[in-house]
Structure 1
Amino acid sequence: MNNSALRAYLSTRAPDQIHSAFVAYLANLDLVAHQFPQIASDIVQELIDQRSYVKLIASENYSSLAVQAAMANLLTDKYAEGFPHHRYYGGCQNVDSIESAAAAEACALFGAEHAYVQPHSGADANLVAFWAILSRQIEMPTLSSLGVTAATHLSEEQWEVLRQKMGNQKLMGLDYFSGGHLTHGYRQNVSGRMFRVVSYAVDRDTGLLDYAAIEAQAKRERPLILLAGYSAYPRSINFRIFREIADKVGAVLMADMAHFAGLVAGGVFTGDEDPVRWSHIVTSTTHKTLRGPRGAFILCKKEFAEAVDKGCPLVLGGPLPHVMAAKAVAFREARNAAFKTYAHAVRDNARALADACIQQGMQLQTGGTDNHLLLLDVRPFGLTGRQAERALIDCGVTLNRNSLPFDPNGAWLTSGLRIGTPAVTSLGMGPEEMKRIARLIARVLGAATPVRTKTGALSKSAAEVPGEVRSSVCSEVRELLARFTLYPELDEPFLRAHFTRRPAGQNTCRRRDLNPYGVTPTDFESVVSASFTTSARAQPITRGTKGTAVHVVFLREAPCLPLREPLFFSHEEF
């Protein structure tokens, strides 16, 4: 590769100026670009975009470059169905070593009796846990009573009886609109179809879990599985009380700590708030507060270990050895003292952000937070969650809309925003920055207004922010992010120069892509008018024709983004 970016970098740097992480990154991109330049370009563009927005998505974070590097290797070539030293394929000794190391790191990190690190996602982990519980609690006792050791030894009639029995068990988890996850029994998810689901909800007045009400409901329903955990609940959970309830009704206590695993690992949630201590089975993702790769794992008591390890063939096929390697690295990173400092800072920042939002006159579900997230009610602004989400993204702040308890706007439009601090804390931001972010959110939402549809009715999905407000907020976003650089080891100008140049016509941006760049369809239409007049935010620097399509090149100088390479817009896309 004569045009190697790595070679160019090494030839222009003194030895003491060479950063090994950047060398590894460049070597990777060089190989990718040699085969498929667009993919390398899009990877670099993702870095540019992530550096251009304040990320407040509670389920996202920034993994280390070491974690990312652990995934980019030949481990992806190996099939390893089964579990360590019990594989359906030969030659898995190195995968055995890696998976065993990852499991050992997870056990040491969380104080668990057993760990299973194969699940690809939190949804997969929950499915494995569900079926492991069904297997141990329903299938194995039934097989024992029939004098057989495996379901394959049953007659068709016996198997049908067992299958019906396993498919008629009760799952009791947190209601979706109260902050539960889709996989906790939501009817649109497979979990809501494989169980008889009896959800519990938060208190209508306080928005908090009512443990007495949960216990009373559990005694009435007597579920096989009592599931504790959340996707959008801003308070801590008392897992000791949940275990007491589970024991009283003969249920298995399962905890989903996908969102707050990093707070458990970092010692923020201890004692009664530690799900690993009190639960029979705990599931989690690795990529949220834990700052690992995209994936998941399961922790459990010894009595569930055998059933959990049979995730393949029960639910999963071949694991992803390269991702398990990255999980091992992430678990090791989380065992460092610096991670404990980080985990406490995540909660401190969430509380600081919550206090600042309240001071700005905004309404928060439950009045604050105990963890890494807060729920903002946007109805006082006359907006839906979808409108608020879009308005903030247009101003350089990414987050997601979220249902509130008993939400009249449903799961699509919603009435709230879920705001999280894991990513901004990873950048090094602190309480003072949280105050500033709260002011920016308040300014945008206070200025946003619903747009009118073609029929003249007010849209429930779209909102617009006055240009002067958007420009002002985006300017502050740029200034804030300039002080907290994501992956400072990576030289963005160098990467852009070597990987993001595209010939005219190959960087076409469709209508749906315009808002992140601060260019609206109106801007575009004004530019491609007969006189090619210039709009306030998009300046044509060349023009040409290709058939009936008019192509205009804009400098990529949007309110929230610094000047970058030209973008090419085709009029036919509009």
Structure 2
Amino acid sequence: MDYSHVRDVDPAVADALSEEVQRQRDTLAMIASENHVSEAVLEAQGSALTNKYAEGYPGERYYAGCEYADEVEQLAIDRATDLWGADHVNVQPHSGTQANMAVYLAMLDPGDKILSLDLTHGGHLSHGHPANFTGKTYEVEQYEVDAETGYVDYEGLAETAETFDPDIIVSGYSAYPREVDFERVQAVADSVDAYHLADIAHITGLVAAGVHASPVGVADFVTGSTHKTIRAGRGGIIMCDEEYADAIDNSVFPGAQGGPLMHNIAGKAVGFAEALDPAFEAYAEQTVANAKALAETLQDAGLELVSGGTDNHLVLVDLRPSHPDTTGKDVEAALEDAGIVMNANTVPGETRSAFDPSGIRLGTPALTTRGFDEAATREVGELIVRVVDNYDDEAVVEDVSERVQELCEEFPLYE
């Protein structure tokens, strides 16, 4: 990745791109929503399809010269259908948020009601936060996780649905470490005659590999990201029953977007092809095994985990019981100095600002892509604990940093 053509035109950007590759090589990515795609996906996303406008859908474009764009998009659709088993797939959303926007636009009117998980309890901005378009356009009520267990309070969800009478209920979350009971949410939606949108942005790959329950065929609509646990081109996806196909397609284009990003769709197609390889199932299983190993390591060291562990790819740590004077941002900054990149995160019952919350969120998808197994992940967990316990001790952070560099060399990226 020498970016020689970029360097000929713009050395400053070439330098930044080269440094970013080196940063990724020399740090351990543990932001739960990040991963490392293959060089094949990178090539597809940087392809000549960048140049092509292809408004519309395969076989029904508003521009000429779309025969290869059609071929690539149809491959992405067909492969997504194989991966998740949906009746209808739209691969054009630019992101998971825009996939959600398209569903809302298709099925709701301004002022209609959304019931979703509170952001501080693990929900997402696009599920109804007041700063997001959802909170500005729709009436939003939110359910929570149980304060004692950290699991979704399904009984509370049902009670709130009964009184709020939502038009759509959203399941699927951005900081929830447990398996989602999509069928239970669907039963609640049925009881109040609401649609059910399952947002699997974080767990698309886990669902595709069969290591997490699938909402496809259960929920009315399934949205997701295509670059997290699935490791495909960056963007979003919508899946639904055939009866909603026209409404969803029209909502994506021309409703919410113009021309699709065909180079990203090429990256999706290539990433989906990789996910159809039997080796991907082993990757997904290892991702979950690594997350469980990480969770056990952190717990053994005295850190408190929201829900007491994990069923998926992420671990959510509440620092308040063990480190009441330490914030998530304190730990985030110190770990970044040590070469471990993760994020501060709100936790249920948050008592601090979302800009400086009480928790940290850690994920294993990118470590697993590098080849980490449970033993290596446990060591990373031990390094994290050292920094959490000594975030303001420069000598400790430097010592951890040296070991992180050795691990990066043992498990190389983009050689």
Query: What is the TM-score normalised by the length of structure 2?
Result: 0.97
1:79 aligns with 2:77: no
**Which of 191, 196, 203 is 1:253 aligned to?**
196
2:284 corresponds to: 343
Question: Is it true that 1:281 corresponds to 2:221 in the alignment?
Answer: yes
1:378 touches 1:388 (CA, 8 Å); kept in 2? Answer: no
Query: What is the Cα deviation at residue 372 of structure 1?
Result: 0.4
Which one-letter code corresponds to 1:358 in the other structure? Q
Please name the residue that 1:319 is paired with. Answer: 260
Would the aligned equivalents of 2:316 and 2:362 in 1 still touch at CA under 8 Å?
yes
| Identity fraction in percent | 42
- Among 114, 122, 138, the residue aligned to 1:179: 122
State how far apart, in whole Å, the 2-side matches of 1:378 and 1:436 are: 20
What per-residue deviation string (whole Å, max 9, x for no partner) do you get for residues 226-276 of structure 1? 11010001101011111111111111110100001010011101xxx2111
Q: CA deviation digits over 1:527-565, x for unaligned, max 9? A: xxxxxxxxxxxxxxxxxxxxxxxxxxxxxxxxxxxxxxx
* Residue type at the aligned position of 1:471: E
Q: SS of the residue aligned with 1:283? A: strand
Q: Is 1:306 aligned to 2:280, yes or no?
A: no
Q: Residue 480 in 1 paired to residue 407 in 2? A: yes
Quote the Cα distance in structure 1 between the aligned partners of 2:394 and 2:188: 54
**Are 1:467 and 2:394 an aligned pair?**
yes
Judge conservation of contact 1:227–1:256 (CA < 8 Å) in 2: yes
- Where 1:278 maps in the other structure, the secondary structure is coil
SS of the equivalent of 2:179 reads coil
Question: Is the Cα–Cα contact under 8 Å of residues 129 and 135 in structure 2 kept in the other structure?
Answer: yes
2:349 to 394, 406, 412: 406
Counterpart of 2:232 (choices 292, 299, 319) is 292
Moved more, 213-222 or 478-487: 213-222
Per-residue deviation, 1:466: 2.1
Aligned residue for 2:167?
A: 224
Is residue 94 of structure 1 aligned with residue 58 of structure 2?
A: no
* Distance in 1 (alpha carbons) for counterparts of 2:261 and 2:410: 37
Deviations 1:69-106 (A, max 9, x none): 01222211111112222222223222122111111110
2:15 corresponds, among 19, 22, 41, to 41
Which digits, 9 at most, give the CA deviation of each residue in 1:406-446, with x for residues without a partner?
Answer: 20002111000000000000001011112111111111111
Task: Give the counterpart letter for 1:117 in structure 2.
Answer: V
**1:355 to 2:296 alignment:** yes
Check conservation: 1:401, 1:418, Cα contact below 8 A: yes
Deviation string, structure 1 residues 289-334 (Cα, Å, up to 9, x no partner): 0111211111111111101111111100111111111100111110
After superposition, the C-alpha distances for 1:374-431 in whole angstroms (9 at most, x for unaligned) are 1111222221111111111111111000000120002111000000000000001011
Does the Cα contact within 8 Å between 2:233 and 2:266 map onto a contact in 1? no
Q: For the residues of structure 2 that align with 1:442 and 1:233, how far apart are their CA atoms?
A: 21
CA contact (8 A) 1:133 1:304 kept: no
SS at match of 2:198: strand
Q: Deviations over 1:13-61 (max 9, x none)?
A: xxxxxxxxxxxx45xx222222112222222211111111111110000
Matched, 1:425 2:365: no
With a CA cutoff of 8 Å and minimum separation of 6, indicate the structure with the bigger relative contact order. 2
User: What's the counterpart of residue 79 of structure 2?
Assistant: 105
Aligned equivalents of 2:7, 2:214: Cα separation in 1: 46
Contact preservation (8 Å) 2:143, 2:153:
no
Q: Name the SS of the counterpart of 1:254 in structure 2.
A: strand
Equivalent in 39, 43, 54 of residue 65 of structure 1:
39
Equivalent residue in structure 2 for 1:121, among 92, 95, 108: 95
Could you tell me whether the CA contact under 8 Å between 2:347 and 2:358 is conserved in 1? yes
* Rounded Cα–Cα distance in structure 1 between residues aligned with 2:20 and 2:360: 24
CA separation in 2, counterparts of 1:74 and 1:468? Answer: 48
Is the CA contact (8 Å cut-off) linking 1:392 and 1:398 kept in structure 2? yes
For 1:161-217, what per-residue CA distance to the aligned partner results, in whole angstroms no more than 9, with x for missing partners?
A: xxxxx2121001111011000000000100111111011111122111121221121
**Which amino acid in 1 is paired with 2:77?**
A
Number of aligned residue pairs: 412
Contact 1:360 1:438 in 2 (8 A): no
Aligned counterpart, 1:334: 275
Unaligned runs of 5+ in 2: none
Residue 470 of structure 1 and its aligned partner are, at CA, apart by 1.8
Matched to 1:95, the amino acid is: A
Distance, in Å, in 1 between the alignment partners of 2:134 and 2:56 is 24
Note the 1:189-228 alignment, pairs <5 A. 189-228=132-171
Q: Following TM superposition, by how much is the alpha carbon of 1:127 offset from its aligned partner in structure 2, in angstroms?
A: 0.5
Could you list the structure 1 runs, at least 4 aligned residues long, displaced by more than 3 angstroms after superposition: none
- Bigger radius of gyration, 1 or 2? 1
The aligned amino acid for 2:384 is I
The whole-number CA distance in structure 2 between the counterparts of 1:181 and 1:426 is: 25
Kindly provide the amino acid, as one letter, of the partner of residue 124 in structure 1.
Q
Q: Secondary structure at the match of 2:294?
A: helix
State the TM-score, normalizing by the size of structure 1. 0.71
CA distance in 1, matches of 2:26, 2:177: 27
Q: Tell me, yes or no, if structure 1 residue 434 matches structure 2 residue 377.
A: yes
* 1:480 counterpart letter in structure 2: L
Q: State the distance in 1 between where 2:87 and 2:409 align.
A: 44
With over 3 angstroms needed to count, the CA separation of the structure-2 counterparts of 1:118 and 1:468, relative to structure 1, is same
Aligned-partner Cα distance in 1 for 2:54–2:64: 8
Query: Which residue in the other structure is 2:26 paired with?
Result: 52
